[in-house]
Amino acid sequence: MEFHLQALPHFTPRPGPLLLVVADGVGVAPDVASNAVARAHVPHLDALTSSDLATTLRAHGIAVGLPSDDDMGNSEVGHNAMGAGRIFAQGAKLVNQALADGSLFASDVWQDAVAAGRAGGTLHFIGLHSDGNVHSNIDHLHQMLARAAADGVARARVHILLDGRDVGARSALTYIAATEKVLTDLNAAHGVDYRIASGGGRMTITMDRYGADWDMVKRGYECHTYGVGRPFASAAGAVEAMYAESDTGDQYLDPFVIVDAVGIPVGTMADGDAVILFNFRGDRAIEISRAYEEPDFAVFDRGPHPPRVFFAGMLQYDGDALVPKKYLVAPPAIDRTVSQYLCAEGVPSFAVSETQKFGHVTYFWNGNRSGYIDAALETYVEIPSDNVEFNKTPAMKAREITAATIELLRSGRFRWGRINFPNGDMVGHTGVFDATTEAMEAVDESMARLEAAIDELGGVLIYTADHGNADVMFTEAADGTRTPVTSHTLNPVPFAIYDPGWHGDYRLSPPSDAGLANIAATLCNLLGYQAPEGYEPSLLSFG
C-alpha cells in the first residue's frame, strides 16, 4: 500500500516541533467534591483547557469502537482511535459479534478446546470476572460454559480474577453469585462437573503488563495450575474472609484456591487439559499467555513438569509476536495509521512514557503492531515504572518523562512526538482521592515545563486524554458515606492546543460528534498535511 500525504494549502506549519500529550485517565466532569481533576491545584491545565483553542472529545462507547455508549473507554481503544484516525470495532464488540453469529463456536480453536474436554481432560477458563467490559465480560464466560456443556465437555474449571477496578471496588460477591448459579444450573441440566477453582485480585496475580511485575504472573500461574494459594471451600467464602481481614478492594485480594473436604485443590491442571483465557483486551493478557503457551518459557520457573495444555486466548493479544498462536476471535485489522503516513513522508518522531503506558504510545498507537514502523525515523523511550502501589508515589515518572521529552524536543531531530502521563489513570484506579489530586498536580507541573520548551522552540503542544477516571473518585450516600470509584468514567476528555505562534490562521471547529479518532487528522494539519482519505475529520478549519 502506498502512503502519501498531500500538502495542506494556505497554511505554514510552525517552525518548531509538534508535541501530543496524553494525560491518561483525565476526564471532564462537573467541579464537585469527587472530581480530583477539578479539585487539584492545576493552574496551567486550567488556563490551557479554558482557552479559545480548547474543546472536549468523546472517548467511550461507539466513538472508540465499543458496542454501546454504556461502555467505558480504555487506554487501548483510545490510543488505537487516536493513532488510526478512524473507528474500528473493538474487543467486546468483536466478541459479541462472534458469539451472536456462532463463528466463535464454529472455529477450529473452539473445537480443539472442547475436544480435549471430551477426551477426558478438563476445560479451564481464566479471566477477569466482572461485566466491566474493559478486559472481559462474564457474559462471554457464561455463554462459553453453556456451549461447552452442550458440546459434551464433562469437566470444567473457572479461575477468576477479581476486578474492583472497572467495576465497584468490592463487587466480587455479586459476580461470584452469578457464575455459581450458572455452574449449578449446568451441573444439574447436563450432569457435568463445573466449578470455580481458584482466584485472586487482578493487581495481585496473573494480569501484569509490559513486564512490570513478572512475580504477579508467576503467582497466578502457580495458583491456577498447581493450586497454590489460601485454601477455602468456596470462592464466596474466600472473598468474605479477606473482606473481614482488611478494607482492601477486590483488585488487591490474595490468591486463593478451592479445596475439597480433605483439602485437595479441585482445579489443578494436567497434561491434555485445555485452557481458554477469556479476556479480550491485550495488554494484561500477553504475559500469562506466554507462560502457558511457550514450550521454552524461561522468564520464571514453571516447575519441573509444567502440564502440556492446549492454550487459546479470546483474541490474539500481540499480532506481531503472535501471542497467543491460537485464539477464538480475530482482532481488528487496523491499517493506515497516521504514523505510517508520516513515516512515509519522512517525518521523524518520538514516543515516550513509563512502562505502565509505554505500549500505548507505541503498540496500540501503531494499530496493535510491535516495534518500529521505521526505526530510522522513530525513537521510542521507555522510562521504567516503579513496582509500587501508585497512590504512594502519585507523581509516578512524570518528571522523568518530561525531562526525556524536553531533551528530544531540543535535539532538533524530531518534527513531532507523543507522550503519555499515566498518573490520572494509574493513581485514579487506587481510589485514593488525595493521591490523585497530587498526581494531577505533578502533571500540571510537567505541563508548565513542556509549555516553556514549546515557547523556546516555536512549536505547538496538544493536550488531551484517552478516557476518564480521576474525574470521578467516589460516590456519596445521603448519610455522607463515600464509596471509592476505581473505574473509568463515561465523561468526555479535554482537547486543547497550546500554540504561542497562533495568529488566527486556523480555528478550532470540531464536528458535533468529535472523538479521539479526530485527533490524527488534526495532527496531520498542524504538520502541514491534508488528512488521509477516509479519516475522521480534523478538529481545525483554515482560512
Do 389 and 439 contact (CB within 8 A), yes or no?
no
Q: How far apart are the first and last CA of the chain?
A: 32
Angle among Cα 211, 84, 428 to the nearest 5 degrees reads 50
DSSP three-state, residue 455 = helix
Grid cell at residue 62: 461507539
| Integer Cα distance of 491 and 465 in angstroms | 11
Count of CB atoms within 10 A of residue 124's CB?
A: 29
Contact between 428 and 470 under an 8 Å Cβ cutoff? The reply is yes
Q: What residues pair up with 494 in beta bridges, in sequence order?
A: 56
427 SS3 class: coil
* DSSP secondary structure letter of residue 105: H
> For residue 259, what is the DSSP state?
B
Q: Which three cell numbers stand for residue 250?
A: 477486590
CB-based contacts of 529: which residues, under 8 Å, 6+ apart?
A: 5, 6, 7, 8, 341, 345
User: Is residue 75 flagged as an active site residue?
Assistant: yes
Q: Say which of 34, 51, 75, 107 is annotated catalytic.
A: 75
- Cell numbers that stand for 333 in this block: 485489522
Query: Quick count: other Cβ atoms within 10 Å of Cβ 519?
Result: 26
- Show which residues are catalytic: 75
